Structure 1
Amino acid sequence: MLKNYLIVAFRNLWKNKGFSAINIAGLAVGLATCLLILFFVLDELGYDRYNEKADRIYRVDADLRFGGNHFVLAVDPDPMGPTLKKDYPEVEQYVRFRGYWNSFLVRKDNQNIQENNVIYADSTLFDVFTLPMIQGDPKTALVAPSSVVITESVARRYFNTDQAVGRVLTVNDSVPYKVTGVIRDMPTQSHFHFDIFISMASNPDSRQNIWVSNNYNTYIVLRKGADPKRLDAQFDGLVDRYLMPQAAQILNISADAFRKQGNFAHYMLTPLTSIHLHSNKTAELGANGDIQYIYIFSAAALFILLIACVNFMNLSTARSAGRAKEVGVRKTLGSLRQNLIGQFLTESILVSLMSLVLAMLLVELALGSFNHLAGKDMQLHLLDRPGLIGVLLGIALVVGLLAGAYPAFYLSSFRPIKVLKGVLSTGFRTGWLRSTLVVFQFSISIFLIVGTVVIYNQLQFIRHKDVGFNREQVLIVSNTQVLGKQATVFRNELLRLGGVEDVTVTGYLPTSSNRDDNPLFQDATLDPKKAISLQIWGVDEHYIPTLGMRMSEGRNFSSQFPTDSIGIIVNEAAVRLLGTTRPLDKNLYALRDFRGGNAPGNVQTLHIIGVVKDFNFNSLREVVTPLALYVGSAPGGVAIRMHTNDLPGLLDRVRNLWTSMAPSQPFSYSFMDDDFNRIYASEQRMGGIALFFASLAIFVACLGLFGLVTYAAEQRTKEVGIRKVLGASVANIVTLLSRDFLGLVVVSLLIAFPLAWWAMHHWLEDFAYHVSIGWWVFAASGAMALLIALGTVSFQAIKAALANPVKSLRTE
């Protein structure tokens, strides 16, 4: 019986090659899209699961409020890890990371190579994370000061072998680190990626029992069976026991008074496997994903697959008139309905399997481009994933049954007497289910069109928004701290180059990750009630003009005013937080001297000399926060304002100047506009993926619309013939066949528009600064959908209108 089903199925598919090709292509595109999204989702969900203890590893995060500012951090105090292990028996082990914004320069021969993926780590690193070691002892590798563990790639880069234990890395021209371990390169699916781990004992900022500073990423391993919620509930007690006494001593205030003023310090556990998709806190160890995109793309995959199945149903029922007599003859000759259902389901599953094979080929062809678009490195490798093969076959079987169920039961229900008499009431106007499915298809497509337009507009808004500084034609040279006192000389020599307008020397730039958050007080008694928390950056007098910032009040720093050594410039957000309309000449007070480190027992007086207009130094997802600038040395970078038509030539001259002053140091540079765009690389990628999926959805939906037009044309062949004989023009026939379908698209617009507005409004709320969804977005999206539908409908309608009426009427 099955053999007969297959033979008949192949005959029917070959007989109707056009319909078969459309059917297979539509399902193949739907399946290929579903598979691409499936690979993407599995890749995103698989982050950090390579760790053997992944289900027991948690990161300790901070939720702080002080001085009018609220901070959600991925870092905490340096004693947090040791204290948790000492005081809480459910904590099995901990490890801390300490990163610095400046890169490390590692000596190779006579040159230094810039290494950015460097971190300080506790010796317990390998007790927490699964990082297979090629050479060395994981228990002792990071115990001794000046010891370092490197990846196999770094070992080969510097020593031409992965057997590098005992060798020495020279860092920043003078510091020798002994290689005590070589590990495998870190997996791609990790929320952090480091190539060099330096022992925490070498940390120059090593502190002991300082609870009021948050600079360490702390991870803990809970013992088997331990309840993380129970530990979470005990953090408030830990804060009262350790952090609040230190805060009270510094601020001269009790813990109760501290809290009554609206301040708080909370710590909580974040599961390791949730970090990549659910965490976007300050001081993350790397760029994370977003669970919202997983939901969006998973829904898109499901919808596109459903659209493809709907197409199959529409195209199958479009052939119902052609196969009605076949069904009538089969039933007359004794075929049972279940046999007919079996025949049609066999055809459906066969089409689904053929579509799966084509889909795999499409995925193989598209995976490289999709990887580039999504920033991934996914591979198909089906032979290495037998479980996935079974899943794919199961999907093909389910899709075949789902897509073929309605046509099978519908076609097998035809009554042979009516069919053989030519009485078959299957006109378009009675096909409410097919019409509903087309509305469903185009509602999804229009939803995706609106979403793509809004995402594109937001990305363009980000690209062109006035962020308070001019990022165009600004060259940034990094790691200028290696110049030491020669940084000023480097600046002066740069100004001699043609095309250079101005230069500022500072490591604090709006597009960098360098930040320094500190409290300032409005009176010399350091009353916490009058404290404000803000960024405090050391800059020079050329900072504001070089970056094209604008003053709101007061003046810029100037070497002609010696008192500027205690002067500061605040932004408008800081003025709002101060609650004053006359900020100039107001004094603020600090716990430390920012120019010379800590000054225990002393209070540093700072005098406001100017107010700079707000500029964005965080993502546009966040509002501009308070900031103060002071004249100080922070030579981590040099920003060069240029005006030249010969950018390559100027870049060569800057490189030559650098080489003459720092011959053994790498010339590391970037352009500020590129750095700005990298902040939104994730949004750019997701926008591209959304456009890709929207295009596929529209393509597959158009196939469904084509199926319905074909169905209607077949059902009304004789009507069209009679109308033409009676004098109807081609335009009349096209209008007749098109208006009902365009009506369905209009209904789809009415359904999709409010849903799209709600979803995109919710997405835009994640940005502090965003576009509004204007009426023109819906007008443009609707016009696009109508034009696409009209083009699809007109093609088949014109074909039907141009057909010779003699052929359709000669049997009447």
Structure 2
Amino acid sequence: MFKNYFKIVLRNILKSKVYSFINISGLALGMIVCMLSIIYIRYELSYDTYHKKVENIYRVTSEYSNPQGYNPHFARCPDAWINNLPDEFPEIKTLVRFQWTPSVNLKIRENKFRSFKWYFTDANVFSVFSFTMIEGDPSTALTEPRSVVITKEISQKYFGSGNPIGQEIIAINEATGQYVHYKVTGVINNLPKNSHFQIEFLVSYPNAEARTGWAWIYLLLKEGTNPVLLEKKLPDFIKKYAGENAARTNFLHLQALKDIHLYSNLDREIEPNGDIQYVYIFSIVALLAILIAGFNFMNLSTARSLKRAKEVGIRKVLGADSKQLINYFLCESIFYSFLAILISILMVTIIFPFFRSILGIPISISSIFNLPMISYFLLLAFITGTLSGIYPSVVLSSFSPATAFSKGSNLTKSGKQVNLTLRRSLVVLQFTMSIVLIIFTFFSYKQFSFINNKKLGFNKEQIIAVSNIPRNDQLKFPLLKNALEKYNGIGGVTASMDVPSKDILDAGFTRVEGIHSGDESTVLSLQSVDNNFIDVMGIRLSAGNNFDLTTSKQSPSKIMSLNEMQQYVSAKNYSFLINESALLKLGLKSPDEALGRKLLWSNAAFNLSGKIIGVVKDYHYASLKLQVRPLILVDEPVWQGNFLIKISPQNIKSTIKYVEKEWDQIYPDNPFQYEFLDDMFAQLYRSEERQGQILSIFSILAIFIAYLGLYGLTAYASEQRTKEIGIRKVMGASVPGVVSMLIKEFVLLIIIANIIAWPTAFYFINKWLQDFAYRIEISWWIFILSGGITLIIALATVSFQAIKAATANPVESLKYE
């Protein structure tokens, strides 16, 4: 039976080539969008799932609060007391800590380089995480002090094809400048890219019990443990172990490892994470594309129903019942769908490298077309074919033999009995979806253009940043500054605690003379910069003065311990600059009112005091998704570990070469690695821009499919009214009159689609824009423009078919049927 069905379907395809091409191509385009979306969604959902124990691994996060409204939620915790968790709770099987060093200067044989992926961790890390050991013993690799496990990539890059076990890696102590010798005790496979953090070196945790720093804490819970119930017990643990910090650490939370990438955007994340919102957006676009393709298929199939009426009549005369006819037409629909999926797989194979490069996802073709994915795609084809074919199958099987063989108006009336309301509703839905996609594409383009062109309040062009300089090298900054400022191609050199493009999270309690009394305070962020920062970055002063040169020269001549640094900072009388947001937060009415006031700033470690000497204009030092924080600027050299160098746009290569030469002379053990500041800002939005590009392409494809559906409905309407058009022309109707008669119904459908689409698009766009602290206004002209574009293209599509029908020979039209 199915063999016979196949032959007939193939014959119909060859007989109606244009119809078949439109039908199959429409389904194929929808499936391409759907398949690529599935690939992206599956990759995003796969983060950290390669760990065998992922279901039982949780990260501990810490949340703080105070009456002033500063409520940071950190992805890490203080490791001085948090490691007591397994002793208190039998539900916890293992605790593992990761402590990151921002940058480490390393020497392997003759190679000197800096690593930004150097993590201290506990020896039991391999019993929790599935880091595959290819050399060494995972049970003992990190038990001895100064042991280090490296990745396969590092091993091959610096040790070649030989066995690196027992080889030496030298790290330069950032505080003392002394060499620290580590022994390689293991090699692990490179971590998959779908991991929420990447590593190059795992180092044995030094003096773990004595450390008072912060670490990312992961727990392996015993099977059957309820993490919600465990989290409810943690407040008592805080009171018992946090000591004087208990009042500051309000909550500890448990976060599932598999949720970190898409659901976590906390302060001090180990690496930037993804966003579940984009998974939802890709899911919606995929669904819309396949729905539009399915509706398109239904409309085109129904448009041919009258042509196939005699076929249905003959089959019924020969004994076929409605059930058999429905099965046949469903098989035909599924056959079309499977042809479309084969074309889609071929096209995805061709365009996937382009798709992968835009989104930046490291997926190979072989990893896509495996058995599970092929199964998903075949299931997609079956479901699409079945759902798209049900309605046309019922319509076609509903013709009675008498009606099917009748001539003239009987068959036409029978055709009119087909539910036109449903079919028109499908077109309205298609265009509602299309208009929403067009509007979203316009707004996403406009928002990212706004971000890229928005004035930040400082100059980010032609500035290179050298980040995370070890403390011992910071002492030599005056030497570098003097050497570079002599060169004509360099416009200025400055140092800061944080590089612009990174959020400033060092906040403390601030008290200002005449504003706060008693224990009152306001929480403000603190940034340390030298006296050149304002000028080099082009930041404007609203009132007062910049730091003077003598302040920047008051730098200690040696690396200090924490206690020494606390005493040093507390003894100094500082000068402060504040930004305009801080001015408002402090309740000061004008910049002049702030000048000369005494300011006290303190956090858990340091206390600073001095006078406000100036007010600067707000500048956007981080992502425009964040509001500008109220900010205090202070010139404290011990906290200035990032160097910024402004270079001339002429002879950039030679200028950078000069900087590198001077750098190598002053910092022989610290390789020169830099980034352009404008690239660092662009990187903040690169993921959203890439996703926006793909969504725009998907939207165009979905819209194109919708117009195929409109073409199908126009063909159906023109075919139904062929005889009527012939009569009207015989009676004197003009071609424009006939065309107007045919297209007015479709104009109404497009207007209805706009009425539905505009408020729908407004809701989703407004919600999407809420992620941005600085956002465009929702302009109504974009809605009107999108509706106009849709209407113009729709009119062009409908008019093509309408003019064809209106200009046909009326004699031939009267002969129709």
Relative to the length of structure 2, the TM-score reads: 0.90
Residue in 2 aligned with 1:780?
785
> How far off is 1:352 after superposition?
1.0
2:579 paired residue number: 571
Matches within 5 A, 1:198-209: 198-201=203-206, 208=210
143-152 or 470-479, which deviates more: 470-479
Amino acid at match of 1:605: S
8 A Cα contact 2:62 2:249, kept in partner: no
What is the CA distance between 1:674 and its match in structure 2? 1.0
* Cα gap change, 1:557 to 1:645, in 2 (>3 Å): same
Displacement of 1:434 in angstroms is 0.9
| 1:458 equivalent in alignment to 2:447 | yes
2:273 equivalent in structure 1:
288
Kindly provide the CA deviation profile for residues 608-645 of structure 1, in whole angstroms up to 9, marking residues without a partner as x: 21222222233222222232222122453322234434
- Measure the CA separation in 1 of the matches of 2:35 and 2:226: 37
Once residues 724 and 428 of structure 1 are traced to their aligned partners in structure 2, the CA distance between those partners, rounded to angstroms, is 26
Letter in 1 for 2:133: M
Where structure 2 has 5 or more consecutive residues not aligned to the other structure, the ranges are 555-571
Equivalents in 2 of 1:153, 1:198: separation in Å?
A: 16
Aligned to 1:547: 537
DSSP 3-state at the match of 2:600: strand
Unaligned runs of 5+ in 1: 249-254, 256-262
Tell me the CA shift for residue 465 of structure 1: 1.9
Shift, 1:39, TM fit: 1.6
- Amino acid aligned to 1:193: Q
Partner of 2:567: none
Q: Distance in 2 between matches of 1:756 and 1:321?
A: 37
SS of 1:321's partner is: coil
2:298 counterpart residue number: 313
2:136 aligns with 136
Distance 2:369 2:20 in 1: 32
Shift of the 208–584 alpha-carbon distance from structure 1 to 2, 3 Å rule, reads: farther
Establish whether residue 124 from structure 1 lines up as the match of residue 114 from structure 2: no
Q: 1:216-273 CA deviation, whole Å, 9 max, x = no partner?
A: 1111111112221122112221222233x4148xxxxxx5xxxxxxx77211111111
Q: Which of 511, 514, 525 matches 2:501?
A: 511
1:547 Cα deviation from its structure 2 partner: 0.9
**Structure 1 residue aligned with 2:438:** 449
Return the alpha-carbon distance in structure 2 between the equivalents of residues 664 and 605 of structure 1.
36
Other-structure match for 1:437: 426
Residue 244 of structure 2 corresponds to: 246
Cα distance in structure 2, aligned partners of 1:729 and 1:121: 84
- The answer to whether the 8 A contact 1:505-1:637 is kept is yes
2: CA distance between counterparts of 1:801 and 1:666? 76
Compared CA separation, residues 302 and 198, structure 1 to 2 (3 A) = same
Aligned position for 2:330: 345
Identity of aligned residues (%): 38
Match of residue 42 from structure 1: 42
Partner of 1:335: 320
In 2, distance between residues paired with 1:153 and 1:47?
21
Q: Where do residues 88-103 of structure 1 align in structure 2 (5 Å cutoff)?
A: 88-101=89-102, 103=103
Q: CA deviation at 1:591?
A: 5.2
CA distance in 1 between partners of 2:330 and 2:764 (Å):
38
- Is the CA contact (8 Å cut-off) linking 1:512 and 1:675 kept in structure 2? no
Whole-angstrom CA distance in 2 between matches of 1:274 and 1:456: 29
Q: CA deviation at 1:162?
A: 6.4
Do the aligned partners of 2:126 and 2:139 also contact (CA within 8 Å) in 1? yes
Deviation at residue 453 of structure 1 after TM alignment: 1.6
State the match for 1:226 in structure 2: 225
Cα offset, 1:93, TM superposition: 0.8
Q: Distance in 1 between matches of 2:449 and 2:685?
A: 11
Q: Is the 8 A contact 2:39 2:368 kept in 1?
A: no
**What is residue 568 of structure 2 aligned with on the other side?**
none
Write the mapping of 1:394-793 to structure 2, written as runs, cut at 5 A.
394-422=379-407, 423-424=410-411, 425=413, 426-427=415-416, 431-478=420-467, 481=470, 483-512=473-502, 516-522=506-512, 529-559=519-549, 566-581=574-589, 582-590=593-601, 604-633=608-637, 634-662=639-667, 665-793=670-798
Q: Within 2, Cα distance between the matches of 1:185 and 1:272?
A: 19
Partner of 2:560: none
Aligned match of 1:251: none
Question: How much has 1:48 moved relative to structure 2?
Answer: 1.0
Do 1:491 and 1:505's aligned partners in 2 also have CA atoms closer than 8 Å? no
Q: Aligned-pair distance for 1:648? A: 3.6
Return the letter of the residue paired with 2:596: D
Which digits, 9 at most, give the CA deviation of each residue in 1:721-755, with x for residues without a partner? Answer: 34444554443333332221122111111001101
Superposed CA deviations along residues 437-473 of structure 1, whole A, max 9, x for unmatched, are: 0001111111111112222222122112222222122
DSSP 3-state at the match of 1:381: helix
Give the distance between the partners of 2:109 and 2:546, measured in 1 at CA.
Answer: 45
- For the residues of structure 2 that align with 1:217 and 1:194, how far apart are their CA atoms? 14
Query: What secondary structure, in the 3-state scheme, does the structure 2 residue paired with 1:79 have?
Result: helix
- Give the equivalent residue in structure 1 for 2:216: 217
The normalised TM-score by structure 1 is 0.91
CA 1:185 to 1:721, structure 2 compared with 1: closer, same or farther past 3 Å?
same
Distance (whole Å) between structure 1 residues aligned to residue 14 and residue 794 of structure 2:
29
Give the superposition deviation at 1:108: 4.4
C-alpha separation between the residues in 1 aligned to 2:442 and 2:329?
Answer: 41
Which whole-Å deviations, capped at 9, do the CAs of 1:765-807 have from their partners, x for residues lacking one?
A: 2222211211112112112211222232233233333434343
Which amino acid in structure 1 is aligned with residue 77 of structure 2? D
Deviations 1:495-535 (A, max 9, x none): 233343222123422214675344444589x9993244333
Q: Is the 8 A contact 1:145 1:199 kept in 2?
A: yes
Contact 2:508 2:523 in 1 (8 A): yes
Write the distance in 2 (CA, Å) between the matches of 1:83 and 1:247: 15
In 2 relative to 1, CA 106–506 (structure 1 residues): closer, same or farther, beyond 3 Å? same
Describe the shift of the 1:700–1:144 C-alpha distance in structure 2 as closer, same or farther (beyond 3 A). Answer: same
Q: Contact between 2:456 and 2:620, CA under 8 Å: does it hold in 1?
A: yes
Find the counterpart in structure 2 of residue 194 from structure 1. 199
- For 2:291 and 2:765, the matched residues in 1 are separated by 22
Aligned length: 783
Could you tell me whether the CA contact under 8 Å between 1:81 and 1:220 is conserved in 2? no
Does the 8 A contact of 2:28 with 2:340 survive in 1?
A: yes
Contact 1:479 1:668 in 2 (8 A): no
1:494 deviation in Å? 2.3
The residue number in structure 1 matching 2:254 is 269
Q: CA deviation at 1:295?
A: 1.8
